[in-house]
Structure 1
Amino acid sequence: MAILRPAEPRDVDDIVRLIIALAEYEKLTHLLRITPEKLQAQLFGPRPAAEAVVAEVDEAGSVRTAGFALFFTNFSTFLCQPGLYLEDLFVLPEYRGHGIGKALLQHLGRLAVERGCGRFEWSVLDWNEPAIRFYEAMGATVMPDWRICRVTGDALARFAH
């Protein structure tokens, strides 16, 4: 079983590698702009934008980062409570099926409860049937009536003016 712990600055390179692996799995590498320096600033700078948890496995005395979850606090006006939003969860393929993804989700669920959150939310790609089945089996509801709206890059610059 994996050991879960809050990410530390020494984990940044491993988390970047996992984010790249996630982008490859989702066929979204063309969207990557991540660097270790950028992630370091966002997780551990003076005003962190997100937090992360890493899952480590010990293989014959060699500890390896097998997965991670990156999350941040959001807010529900209807509940008038903070929420926990899972931006990314990824477990390397060779470690899937060993309970690491479930352990990461449960860990974040406990964090949400401890922090007084009214919700724990995330998005899933509509083609990712294994993930959808996994999340539903854990008790999550895939919201059929909601769609994500996004403005980024040049469109965001135009949107702001």
Structure 2
Amino acid sequence: MRNILITLILIAISISVQAQDFVFHYNEMERDELMQKVATTEHPFGSEFTQLMLLLKENYTSEEQNSISLTMTLTVEKPSIYYSVRKANKHYIKAARKGRIPKEEAKKGLQDVLVKALNIRYQNTEALEDKLDKIKDVEEIVAFYSKDVKLDM
């Protein structure tokens, strides 16, 4: 009788352990933070520049999954071009915000850099990349794109 009672108790315990639900608290704040991140991705110069920056990211970067750790790794093709354009983007935004250059002039300069970077993506740019690797100052980067990089129309 005692063995039967112990067996029944063990069966009841094992059933209750297997039927466990995982209940978590819903946190509205996480959803709000996500919505704010999506809403604040607009470029300070407008939606046209948001689209150009997204095109730049799509053309110059790709995500690859690591088969061992199952994490995503961002790979940048032609990093000297990609990162120099991002530096130019920050420079123009900051200069326009602080009033060092008029906003329209900053928009025009940034658009010029972005259009050139998007158009040279699939061309032989080794010499250009070597030159960009040597330039560290953002003012020189901007001047290099406006004076030395040309597009055939």
TM-score range, shorter chain: under 0.3
TM-score, length-scaled by structure 1: 0.26
The structure with the largest strand share of the pair is 1
Q: Name the larger-Rg structure.
A: 2
TM-score, length-scaled by structure 2: 0.27
The structure with the largest helix share of the pair is 2
